[in-house]
A and B are shown apart, each in its own frame.
Chain A
Amino acid sequence: MSKRKILISLATMCVLNTAAMAQGPKAGGVVNAVIQPEPPSLMIGLVQNGPTQMVAGNIYEGLLRYSPKLDPLPGLAESWSVSEDGKVYTFKLVKGVTWHDGKPFTSADVLFTIEFLKQTHARARGNLVQLDKVEAPDESTVVFTLKQPFGPFIGIFEVGSLPMIPKHIYEGTDFKTNPANNTPVGTGPFMFKEWQKGSFIRLVKNPNYHVKGKPNIDEIYWHVIPDAAARSVAYETGKVDVLPGGSVENFDVPRLSKLKNTCVTGAGWEFFSPHSWLWLNNRSGPTANKKFRQALMFAIDRNMAKDVVWNGLGKVATGPSGSAIKYYTGAVPKYDYDPAKAKALLKEAGYNGEKVRMLPLPYGETWQRWAEMVRQNLQDVGVNVEMIATDVPGWNQKVSEWDYDIAFTYLYQYGDPALGVGRNYVSSQIAKGSPFNNVEGYSNPEIDKLFADGAVAFPDAAREEIYAKAQKILVEDVPVAWMLELQFPTITRCSVKNLITTGIGVNDGFRDAWIEK
């Protein structure tokens, strides 16, 4: 190639680049995404499992959205204010919003939603305990009055936690059997169009969406593909463009990332901050001994697990709070990989080789490999581990009936220690029969008090101090063995732009996304 030719091609490239950069969001196009497993229903007020939230986040909306830093952003509420004593929250709703069936969305829907969700949504019920009353002085104003200041309150309004439910469809009916559950109606950027069970769910653009010019995309197909390898192939062969976090096994991620025109991001999990740990049975067996639990923390090579099992994705957890959520502190006792120290602690604990039953999380290969790795770590320091095989319902039952010694799990943290962290450590949350409370049976009056105070302390600086103290005590006590702050990579074609813009990622819907042609 002559010099002149090179110059010309460079110049052309520059021109092309500038042209590409000048492109704004383009309207039109179809996105094919994977949904796994198939959601049981899209009525997000009644069903809150992961796949439901992921699809329904396009159909329904909350009053607020949250930035990756978890600051509130306007959603169905265009502005909001908090009274000086932290007890009264006033929301101004966006005007002119309509439901997909054309009926107007008003403050009456918000009031109805609160009553609806209190009956059907376990997490919303918990989030709303401090609510004294909610009123609607006019069509576009809603006032929440709390019994006392409740710091996390501003963080409970995203679409999965407090989705707005249409009053005109559900009022006076049996919510759970309302036929409208099969044809969800929300205010969101996309409308439900078709669902062929076992094959796909089809959403189409809401032409009357209240944000001008949005959404850009015309249609979304969510494909139901039950086999993880088949999901990888579907992406490889170009049949789907978006693999939301967790769609493929982790060991496939590096291979898929290298494909042409493929972009990978770990963003969009800040709000949920999936935090994984080992539930240690604090009631009986060797794990009831604090020294034994500390020994486990030293025995497990969490960095290696991150690098090998999770392909370097995520972060080693330092304690009960993930680093992305509020009031996190890293100033806590450290447990670096140290088998010698682990052995010494086991000796101090008087461990005599009793069998400990370990329950892997039956969520696919990645989790199975991880459990095998931890078993190896524990055997290396002389812990006698027995692996128990279960399927998901069996795991749920064993964990909720406390029939285990060590069990893998991960839980969402919902941005605030009062919403997603405290529930695992306070003694009021010890209750047989549910797999997502204080399953390990840790009970410490000081921690109970700190979390009780932290939820209602005011202002935020006071909360920060309380939670710092709580984190320190917990890390010292090791009620559970914290493993990783998980990161589920979202894999997309690079031509799908602006897909993840908020702290809840793909679950916030495709309202801002667009396709480069």
Chain B
Amino acid sequence: MISFIAQRIAKAVIVLLALVVLNFFLIRMAPGDPAVVMAGEAGAGDQLFIAQLREKFGLDQPLPVQLFLYVKGILSLDLGFSFRQQMPVSKLILDRLPATLLLTGTAFAISLAFGILFGALAARFAGTWADTAITIAALIFYATPLFWVALMAILLFSVTMDWLPSFGYETVGAGYTGLAHVLDVAAHLVLPATTIGLFFMATYARMTRASMLEVNRLDFVKTARAKGLSDAVIQRRHVLRNALLPVVTLAGLQAGTLVGGAVLTETVFAWPGIGRLMYEALLQRDYNLLLGVFVVCSAMVLAFNLITDLVYRSVDPRIEFAS
């Protein structure tokens, strides 16, 4: 198993470097550069000003030189310097990472737990009103755009009922500490985490339901019934466990997007996370910062792929570590 992991990590590093080079050129294909953006925002910029900025950012160097310097930095685990924010990229990312992980992690946990629960319920009571209700709800949340759900949630719970805060990570200036602070952050977390969670919850519910119904028809389930096992035990130990394999695949994919996948939600809820950082970096052509976020996201995706494989193995012992 260790050699399996080592091999996978070695491959991942190569993939990562390839991604860096690809992203490097993709980003630079977009029109405009950070110097022009900054001159634009200042409402004035003579030639000297723009030239100074380009020189400072190293944008006056030929592209291959820029790439070489960047890759060299990456290899020494240096993500470079943000042109616009005048700070090391790694610091900017590390500052924002916890907020994003909290948000997407919560959403992940909510969606997985409730998705599997509702899916299992729907399968158990297939054909009844409960199944219909769950299926319809899942379909609606699956098909509705996230930002619209977010805005409606804000309208209902913040504006109309005034139960939950509509933006931010905490109540600014309240100076809460200890438990009060935790509760405050939790209150701010509810709307954005649910917004992201609903979509995935719907996916998991649909998949769990379909998968369980399918497994229910298989021979080994019949055997278990014939053995006289109780229905609850059959559903839990035989059906659900086997039905979860496709859900694990999907969860692995979602986990990969935990870092970068919340751009819209973070923007609508003013959540100080990495999704927004990436979006703003894109709009400002802050190349190093944007690349840095890409690198971190890619690394996460690769890491989660590996973890997913390991989880597979524990869910289904038939899968072996062959290379």
Closest beta carbon of chain A to B135's beta carbon, Å = 32
Cβ of B272 and Cβ of A196 under 8 Å apart? yes
Closest beta carbon of chain A to B119's beta carbon, Å = 33
Closest beta carbon of chain B to A150's beta carbon, Å = 18
Complex CA–CA separation, A223 to B284 (angstroms):
20
Chain A residues with CB under 8 A of B46: 122, 125-126, 431, 434, 437
Chain B residues with CB under 8 A of A431: 46-47
Cβ of B47 and Cβ of A434 under 8 Å apart? yes
B45 within 8 A of A: yes
Cβ of A397 and Cβ of B159 under 8 Å apart? no
Cβ of B276 and Cβ of A198 under 8 Å apart? yes
B184 within 8 A of A: no
Chain B residues with CB under 8 A of A225: 167-168, 270
A197 within 8 A of B: yes
B51 closest partner in A (C-beta)? A433
B83 closest partner in A (C-beta)? A40
B250 within 8 A of A: no
Q: When the two chains form the complex, which single residue of B40, B86, B154 contacts A396, counting CB atoms closer than 8 Å?
A: B40
Chain A residues with CB under 8 A of B85: 40-41, 197
* A224-B159 contact in complex given A202-B173, A234-B166, A393-B285, C-beta closer than 8 Å: no
Complex CA–CA separation, A197 to B272 (angstroms):
7
Complex CA–CA separation, A435 to B33 (angstroms):
13
Complex CA–CA separation, A49 to B39 (angstroms):
8
Chain A residues with CB under 8 A of B313: none
Chain A residues with CB under 8 A of B284: 393
A434 closest partner in B (C-beta)? B45
Chain A residues with CB under 8 A of B268: 227, 229-230
A: interface residue count bin:
35 or more
B158 within 8 A of A: yes
Complex CA–CA separation, A233 to B158 (angstroms):
8
A181 within 8 A of B: yes
Q: 1/0 per residue A431-466: CB within 8 Å of B? A: 101111100000000000000000000000000000
Complex CA–CA separation, A41 to B284 (angstroms):
14
A403 closest partner in B (C-beta)? B31
B56 closest partner in A (C-beta)? A176
Complex CA–CA separation, A392 to B40 (angstroms):
9
Chain B residues with CB under 8 A of A396: 32, 36-37, 39-40
Complex CA–CA separation, A394 to B151 (angstroms):
29
Question: What are 23 A-B contacts with C-beta separation under 8 Å?
Answer: A40-B84, A48-B42, A48-B44, A125-B46, A196-B272, A197-B85, A199-B170, A219-B173, A224-B270, A226-B279, A233-B158, A234-B166, A236-B159, A239-B166, A392-B32, A392-B40, A393-B31, A393-B34, A393-B285, A396-B37, A397-B31, A411-B43, A434-B39
Chain B residues with CB under 8 A of A393: 30-34, 36-37, 283-285
A23 within 8 A of B: no
B46 closest partner in A (C-beta)? A122
Chain A residues with CB under 8 A of B292: none
Cβ of B267 and Cβ of A226 under 8 Å apart? yes
A390 closest partner in B (C-beta)? B31
User: What total count of A-B pairs have CB within 8 Å?
Assistant: 164
Chain A residues with CB under 8 A of B166: 230, 233-234, 237, 239
A25 within 8 A of B: no
Chain A residues with CB under 8 A of B30: 393-394
Complex CA–CA separation, A193 to B269 (angstroms):
24
| Most chain A beta carbons < 10 A, residue from B45, B158, B272 | B45
In this complex, how many residues of chain B approach chain A with their Cβ under 8 Å: the count is 55
B124 within 8 A of A: no
| Most chain B beta carbons < 10 A, residue from A47, A196, A198 | A198
4 closest Cβ contacts across the A-B interface? A393-B32, A198-B272, A49-B41, A397-B32
In B258-301, the 8 Å CB interface with A consists of: 267-270, 272-273, 276-277, 279-280, 283-285
Cβ of B50 and Cβ of A434 under 8 Å apart? yes
A84 within 8 A of B: no
A402 within 8 A of B: no
In A325-350, the 8 Å CB interface with B consists of: none
Q: When the two chains form the complex, which single residue of A40, A221, A226 contacts B270, counting CB atoms closer than 8 Å?
A: A226
B85 closest partner in A (C-beta)? A40
Q: 1/0 per residue B161-181: CB within 8 Å of A? A: 010011111101100000000
Cβ of B270 and Cβ of A436 under 8 Å apart? no
Cβ of B40 and Cβ of A234 under 8 Å apart? no
Chain B residues with CB under 8 A of A49: 38, 41-43
A38 within 8 A of B: yes
B321 within 8 A of A: no
| Most chain A beta carbons < 10 A, residue from B34, B42, B43 | B43
Q: When the two chains form the complex, which single residue of B42, B50, B169, B280 contacts A38, counting CB atoms closer than 8 Å?
A: B280
Cβ of A226 and Cβ of B276 under 8 Å apart? yes
A230 closest partner in B (C-beta)? B167
B8 within 8 A of A: no
Closest beta carbon of chain B to A411's beta carbon, Å = 7
Complex CA–CA separation, A233 to B267 (angstroms):
14
Cβ of A436 and Cβ of B269 under 8 Å apart? no
B117 within 8 A of A: no
Chain A residues with CB under 8 A of B234: none
| Most chain A beta carbons < 10 A, residue from B42, B169, B173, B283 | B42
Cβ of A230 and Cβ of B154 under 8 Å apart? yes
In A195-240, the 8 Å CB interface with B consists of: 196-200, 202, 219, 221, 223-227, 229-230, 233-234, 236-237, 239
A28 within 8 A of B: no
Closest beta carbon of chain A to B292's beta carbon, Å = 14
